[in-house]
Structure formats: C-alpha cells, structure tokens
C-alpha cells in the first residue's frame, strides 16, 4: 500500500505521534494531506527572543491569518544579544518590534498560554531605585527595561483571549505599577496554571532597594498576583531567589483556591507564625502534589533552637493533606533561578539568616535535623501508600462515542509551500 492509499485516519495517527515542532514542520512538506494534518500542530507553539530577526519572524506569523489561528502558546526566551543591543539603531528597532508583537497577541485567536522567561543569570544588572522608590530608567538595566517593555505591551491587548496558563520567570523584584492595573488582574482571573519566579534583592540597586523588595513580597505578590479571583486555578508555582516568608513577610492567610491540585514553593521560608504552613493545609482536600524546593524553617534570634520544628509540620501534613499523592522535597546548594546545584539528599533545613544570598543554603540546623527524620520518613510513607491505593482503583470505562475520531476537512487545506521566517530556538 502506498502512502496515497492510506486512510486519512492512519495518516492522522502518524502526525499525532510526532511530538517535536521541527518534525511537524517537516511533515508539512511531504504532500498536501500531511500539510493539512500537521499545520495546526506545527505552529501551536511560537517562540520569540530579544532579537530583531526573532521579533520580525513572530510578526510575520501573526500577519498570516491561516497560521496565526493555530498558535496556542507564545514563549519568550532571553538571549544574549549583547552585540546587537550595542548598536543604537538596532536596539531601538528591536524594542519597537517587540512592542508591536506583544501589543497584538490578540491576533492569535486560539492563544491560551503565555510563557515569559526573562534574564536567567544569577547576577542580573541591578535596576536602580531612586530616592522616591521609583524605578530609574534614565540609565536602566537591560533586564529591567526588557521586562517592563514586554509586560506593558502585553497588557495593552484589549481583546486578549482568556489565558489558562501564565509563566513569569526571572522577574526583577520591583513592584512595577502595571501589576496594579485592571488589565493585569483581568489576565490573571481566568488562569488554571500560574508560575512566578523572582530574582533576589540583588537585582535592585539604590538606597531604597530593600524597601521596594519588601513591598514586592508583602503587598504586590499576595494582593496583585494572588488576590484576584482565580477559582479555577489548579497549579501554582512561586519561587524566590532569596529567602522570603519571614522578612519580607509573605502572608497568604486570606487566600484560598478551591481547585488547587499542585503547589510548588521555592525559597519560601517557614516560621513559627505558620502562615505558609496554614496556606498549604487549607488546600488539604484538593492538593495532590506538593513541591518544596529549598524552603527552610527560620530560626529567630538568638538562633540556638527553632521555635517551630519540621517534624511538627510533617505530622500535620500527614494528617491534613488527605489528597496528597506526590511529595517532592529538594535542597539546592547554589543560588540563581536557572542553574542551581541540587542535593541528592531529601532535607528540610533550618536557617538563621534572612539575607542569605551568596551563602550555601542549608548550612544551619544540622544538630536538629536528625530529630525530624522519622517524621519526614513517615510523611513520605503515608503519601506513598496513598499513591499505591489510588493506582489500584479501577479506571472508569470510556462511554460510547467518547474517543474522538481523526478526520480531514477538505475546506481546511493549507498551501504546503508557505514558509515564515520564525526564529526557532
């Protein structure tokens, strides 16, 4: 049987087995049938970087209505385009192109996911804060200016499709005014998945950097990132590159997400006030996955013994997190949001410093960690037994007509020769 004689349903199964975007784009060149089947999948994800060719490529995709309607995810990735940015005219053209495409993302009518990955290095050039506590853009850092440009352009979309997933990675820890805008709250309101990670206070400069860093975590994150109604939020990831939770205080006491099933915390500090602990327990009936990545317990001065022990927290989790079937505990021994050394040992540590950037995580509290080990082991045992029990439950049978059948609509045929200069990374 030749390929031309194969049923369309069989060819559709071939396309479904191809997972890479590059492979799908190659299939489009085989023949008209494969072009029609592969096109909606080949352009589901579109990538763009902070370079002019990449921004112009996304603009070309945006202006092709036949392909633009297939885009579901936009992914921005920081690239080290330093030479390009040194040329003043090229730099201006790059920013204009990025403003143009991010302000018109509404042209991607099927868009549901936005992933923005800003400067990933451990030492971003600091964003200077003036004496009034405002960002100083007279001589801005490239990381701060790029983030602010893209975020403000994104929020200019008036007819933006409702997003189900938003990832804001490697944010500068400054409470920009656009976080308080109605458009930002509206964008968050429909989310099912939210990922936020922030550089530490070292990403800021100037005499009031500590003050605005505290404001970011005490006010902006809990009120403007997490307070807008998000009843359908099922996954939340919150990471800091510097310990937060005690100082600056992170108070999540007024927050509840009734559909939350996955929670990931990184660099979030527990303490005797139990604010973070209470937030987790509040979701005990729905929370199936909990990830604690370098989340220490704070030991207040004089720092001899903790006032809240990890074994007490683990015992509470074992009793209260009745839906938990996946528990992951990590300890990273380095700093930086992207390139961190991960210890192979499962450890819940104690920390006496609130400003630990530049020091190895987990140096404190070895004397008391051993007392917590039995409770940690029991918690993992409870979660493991519950996961086994869930795995043994019979799965419901599919009802008649539930499985979709691949089909080919002749009216949706796309010109297989069409190409667009997207900068794929």
Separation of alpha carbons 281 and 275, rounded Å: 10
Separation of alpha carbons 281 and 283, rounded Å: 5
**Side-chain half-sphere of 221: how many Cα atoms within 13 Å?**
31
8 Å CB contact between 268 and 295:
yes
What pLDDT shows up at residue 25? 61
What percent of the chain has a predicted confidence (pLDDT) above 70? 74
CA distances from 188 to 43, 113, 148, 225, 324 (A): 25, 12, 18, 7, 26
Residue-wise pLDDT for 15-37, tens only, equals 566 666 666 565 555 556 555 55
Residue-wise pLDDT for 38-91, tens only, equals 566 567 889 999 999 999 999 999 998 988 988 999 999 998 765 566 788 888
DSSP secondary structure letters along 212-237? HHHHIIIIIIIIIISSS--TT--EEE
134's tokens: 């405002």
Q: pTM of the predicted model, to two decimals?
A: 0.83
């Amino acid at each position: 049987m030749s390929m031309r004689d194969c049923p369309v349903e069989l060819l559709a199964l071939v396309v479904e087995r191809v997972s890479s975007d590059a492979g799908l784009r190659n299939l489009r060149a085989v023949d008209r049938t494969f072009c029609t089947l592969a096109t909606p999948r080949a352009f589901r994800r579109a990538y763009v970087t902070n370079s002019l060719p990449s921004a112009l490529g996304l603009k070309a995709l945006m202006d092709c209505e036949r392909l633009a309607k297939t885009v579901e995810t936009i992914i921005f990735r920081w690239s080290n385009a330093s030479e390009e940015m040194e040329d003043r005219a090229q730099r201006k053209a790059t920013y204009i192109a990025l403003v143009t495409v991010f302000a018109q993302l509404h042209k991607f009518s099927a868009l549901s996911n936005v992933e923005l990955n800003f400067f990933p290095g451990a030492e971003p050039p600091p964003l200077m804060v003036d004496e009034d506590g405002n960002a100083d853009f007279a001589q801005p850092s490239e990381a701060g200016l790029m983030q602010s440009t893209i975020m403000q352009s994104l929020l200019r979309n008036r007819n933006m499709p409702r997003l189900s997933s938003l990832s804001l990675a490697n944010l500068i820890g400054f409470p920009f005014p656009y976080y308080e805008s109605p458009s930002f709250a509206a964008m968050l309101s429909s989310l099912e998945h939210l990922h936020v990670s922030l550089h530490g206070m070292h990403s800021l400069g100037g005499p009031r950097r500590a003050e605005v860093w505290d404001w970011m975590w005490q006010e902006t994150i809990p009120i403007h990132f997490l307070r807008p109604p998000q009843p359908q939020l099922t996954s939340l990831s919150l990471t800091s590159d510097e310990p937060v939770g005690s100082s600056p205080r992170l108070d999540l006491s007024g927050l509840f997400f009734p559909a939350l099933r996955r929670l990931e915390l990184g660099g979030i500090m527990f303490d005797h006030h139990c604010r973070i602990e209470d937030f987790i327990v509040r979701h005990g009936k729905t929370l199936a996955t909990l990830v604690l990545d370098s989340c220490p317990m704070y030991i207040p001065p004089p720092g001899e013994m903790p006032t809240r022990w990890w074994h007490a927290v683990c015992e509470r989790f074992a009793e209260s997190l009745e839906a938990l079937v996946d528990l992951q505990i990590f300890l990273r021994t380095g700093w930086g949001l992207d390139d961190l050394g991960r210890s192979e040992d499962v450890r819940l540590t104690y920390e006496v410093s609130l400003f630990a950037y530049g020091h190895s995580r987990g140096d404190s509290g070895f004397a008391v960690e051993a007392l917590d080990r039995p409770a940690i082991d029991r918690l993992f045992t409870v979660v493991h037994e519950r996961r086994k029990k869930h795995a043994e439950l019979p799965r419901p049978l599919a009802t008649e007509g539930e499985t979709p059948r691949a089909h080919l609509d002749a009216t949706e045929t796309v010109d297989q020769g069409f190409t667009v200069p997207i900068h794929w990374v």
